[in-house]
Amino acid sequence: MSCPTLQLATLPVCPGLFYATPARDGIISRIRIPGGIINNEQGRAIAEFSERFGEGYVHVTNRANLQIRKIQGITSEVLTTLQKVGLAATLTEVDHLRNIMASPTAGIDSLELIDTRPLVKELDAYISGHPELKGLSPKFSVAFDGGGAVSICEQKNEIIFRAIAVSADCAAVERNIYFQLILGDATNILLQPEECLSVVVAIAQVCLDNLDQTLARKLRLKHLLQDKGVEWYLQQAQSYLPFSLLKRLKPTLDKSINPKNYNHLGVHPQQQPGLSYIGIVLPLGQLLSKQLQSLTDLAQNYGSGTLRLTPWQNLLISDIPNSCIPYVKDEIERLGLHYQANQIQGSLVACTGKTGCASSATDTKGQALALAEYLKKHITLDVPVKIHFSGCPKSCAYHGRSDITLLGTLIEKDKTLVEGYHIYVGDKEQAFGRELYTNVSIAEVPHQILQMLQVYQIKRAELDESFGEFTNRYAMQELRQLFDEEGSNR
Ligand code: SF4
């Protein structure tokens, strides 16, 4: 275990626990949670940590990490305590690497093909024992998707292993479970589960071989793939592998996935008979220390003692006997939280915004919460609508598909600058979808979004057609006309 001290990052790196990063509103610490699962001892340690050294709350990030803002006064003893409960890298040199992402329902999802938790554990143990990996870019990222109902394939990761079932021939009943490797444009390599770790190690090694020490920023895998090509990369990786990677090509595999990934909120039966998990909505990923403490108690008393953080900035309590579900629901509401997937806050995300980030044009979080309050009073949603606020085009909070994206901007009105948004909808062919409205001032945003949602509820083709699918059926001009005409008739 290396000696833990807190360093202030001087280069633009992602925050870690040992590489706290200065932001506009103070110092940020980020605790890596491999696979997003914390046990009750860890939950309590984090609640105490944020209470003593932060401002009494934590945020679940879009990599299922925990982030604490405005921290001060951390000592090396505190870091040692966190290391002892398994919350901090035992090797501080690799603390900056991105969290390993996995399906939050691993091992409990009734549709999953394989439990990815052992793979996460294996990779985390490997990282913890190899200081040479410190040369990797902090953005080097790996995800394991078990092929269940809650897919994380749309989340941004440089390496994705996605479980799929393959039959030897069409008539075969027996299916073999493989992982499809998604690396840049390469999507057609199948691996046995036990081969995944070696492949990550080989890919990391090629990255390290190509390091340029003269660069201030570390070389990113995705840039190396762009510069040299995936074929070149795979050939280089092959030299580090005891099995053939290049003979595994299956031309028919594709990368398409189901974008309706809000089916983790609310109550769901598990693969274990008689048990269910409950997905809890955290408003913009925020959890008060006291709520975290109480949810940890709830998980210990009624579940298996673990909390599962999701990359959609919510969390799950698993392994609850079905007979206890009503009580757990009451307790969640008593804590001021809720679990319904159709509540607007359940599918609302926002980046830090101008209170914490100098690049932001707008107060994204404050305005997102105000929009949620406004919509709650004026409309009842029966299908989740994903709304994403971003203070600049970097899109830190969310990289997947949104139904509606609001991109912050400053607009000149009566010779003064006011905050506002460009509004995008539907398909993600362009960075945020298709641009529907430009320069909508923040005063006009709530009414504009309400009008769009009301028209969608009237005009959707099927009850479960998502807002994004609905907008994709129209050309932009048609859609504007529809919203404006129907809206003015109301
Ligand atoms: S998306 Fe832009 S404004 Fe928002 S936190 Fe990231 S860099 Fe800052």
pLDDT, greater one: 391 or 75: 391
Residue 53: what pLDDT?
87
Whether the per-residue pLDDT at 81 is higher than 60: the answer is yes
Closest ligand 1 atom, residue 397 Cα: 1
Q: In the predicted model, what is the mean pLDDT of residues 167-192? A: 76
pLDDT, greater one: 28 or 60: 60
User: Distance from the CA of 467 to the center of ligand 1, in angstroms?
Assistant: 25
User: Distance from the CA of 393 to the center of ligand 1, in angstroms?
Assistant: 7
Q: Binning pLDDT at 50, 70 and 90, where does residue 310 land?
A: very high
Q: Binning pLDDT at 50, 70 and 90, where does residue 193 land?
A: very high
pLDDT, greater one: 94 or 105: 105
Whether the per-residue pLDDT at 323 is higher than 80: the answer is yes
Please give the C-alpha separations between residue 447 and each of 77, 84, 407, 424, in angstroms, as whole numbers.
Answer: 51, 51, 17, 16
Q: Residue 15: CB within 6 Å of ligand 1?
A: no
Q: Write down the architecture of domain 101-238 according to CATH.
A: 2-Layer Sandwich (3.30)
Q: Write down the architecture of domain 266-337 according to CATH.
A: 2-Layer Sandwich (3.30)
Calpha distance 469→310 (Å, rounded): 24
Residue 156: what pLDDT?
86
Residue 206: what pLDDT?
94
Q: Residue 357: CB within 6 Å of ligand 1?
A: yes
Whether the per-residue pLDDT at 253 is higher than 80: the answer is no
Q: Residue 395: CB within 6 Å of ligand 1?
A: yes
Residue 9: what pLDDT?
53
Q: Residue 352: CB within 6 Å of ligand 1?
A: yes
Q: In the predicted model, what is the mean pLDDT of residues 79-85? A: 84
Q: Binning pLDDT at 50, 70 and 90, where does residue 175 land?
A: low
> In the chain, where does the domain assigned CATH 3.30.413.10 lie?
101-238, 346-489
Q: Residue 391: CB within 6 Å of ligand 1?
A: yes
User: Distance from the CA of 405 to the center of ligand 1, in angstroms?
Assistant: 14
Residue 367: what pLDDT?
96
Closest ligand 1 atom, residue 354 Cα: 3
Calpha distance 185→183 (Å, rounded): 6
Q: Residue 29: CB within 6 Å of ligand 1?
A: no
Q: Residue 360: CB within 6 Å of ligand 1?
A: yes
Q: In the predicted model, what is the mean pLDDT of residues 299-321? A: 96
User: Distance from the CA of 395 to the center of ligand 1, in angstroms?
Assistant: 6
Residue 79: what pLDDT?
81
Whether the per-residue pLDDT at 406 is higher than 70: the answer is yes
Residue 13: what pLDDT?
53
Q: Binning pLDDT at 50, 70 and 90, where does residue 95 land?
A: confident
Residue 12: what pLDDT?
45
Q: Residue 394: CB within 6 Å of ligand 1?
A: yes
Calpha distance 21→27 (Å, rounded): 6
User: Distance from the CA of 390 to the center of ligand 1, in angstroms?
Assistant: 7
Question: Which superfamily does CATH assign the domain made up of 346-489 to?
Answer: Sulfite Reductase Hemoprotein, domain 1 (3.30.413.10)
Q: In the predicted model, what is the mean pLDDT of residues 66-91? A: 81
User: Distance from the CA of 392 to the center of ligand 1, in angstroms?
Assistant: 5
Q: Which two tokens stand for residue 206?
A: 């090629």
Q: What is the pTM of this model?
A: 0.86
Segment 334-372, tens digit of pLDDT: 999 999 877 788 889 999 899 888 899 999 999 999 999
Q: Residue 208: CB within 6 Å of ligand 1?
A: no
User: Distance from the CA of 354 to the center of ligand 1, in angstroms?
Assistant: 8
Residue 418: what pLDDT?
94
Helix-helix angle 196-209:230-238, to 10 degrees: 110
Segment 20-59, tens digit of pLDDT: 677 777 788 888 899 999 999 999 999 998 998 888 999 9
Calpha distance 421→438 (Å, rounded): 7
> In the chain, where does the domain assigned CATH 3.30.70.3340 lie?
7-86, 266-337
Whether the per-residue pLDDT at 399 is higher than 80: the answer is no
Residue 274: what pLDDT?
97
Residue 138: what pLDDT?
85
Calpha distance 265→290 (Å, rounded): 21
Q: In the predicted model, what is the mean pLDDT of residues 390-410? A: 89
CB 307 within 8 A of CB 315: yes
- Residues above pLDDT 90, as percent of the chain: 57
Average pLDDT of the chain is: 87
Tokens 């003893």 map to which residue?
A: 77
Q: Residue 392: CB within 6 Å of ligand 1?
A: yes
- Most confidently modeled of 99-108, 254-263, 339-348? 99-108
Whether the per-residue pLDDT at 67 is higher than 50: the answer is yes
Q: Binning pLDDT at 50, 70 and 90, where does residue 441 land?
A: very high
Closest ligand 1 atom, residue 392 Cα: 2
Residue 397: what pLDDT?
83
Residue nearest to atom 2 of ligand 1 (CA): 392
Residue 11: what pLDDT?
45
User: Distance from the CA of 446 to the center of ligand 1, in angstroms?
Assistant: 22
Q: Binning pLDDT at 50, 70 and 90, where does residue 252 land?
A: low
Closest ligand 1 atom, residue 364 Cα: 4
Q: Residue 349: CB within 6 Å of ligand 1?
A: no
Calpha distance 445→320 (Å, rounded): 40
Ligand 1, pocket-test mutation among 396, 405, 432, most atoms within 8 A of CB = 396
Residue 14: what pLDDT?
57
Q: Binning pLDDT at 50, 70 and 90, where does residue 4 land?
A: low
Segment 198-207, tens digit of pLDDT: 999 999 999 9
| Assigned CATH class of 7-86 | alpha beta
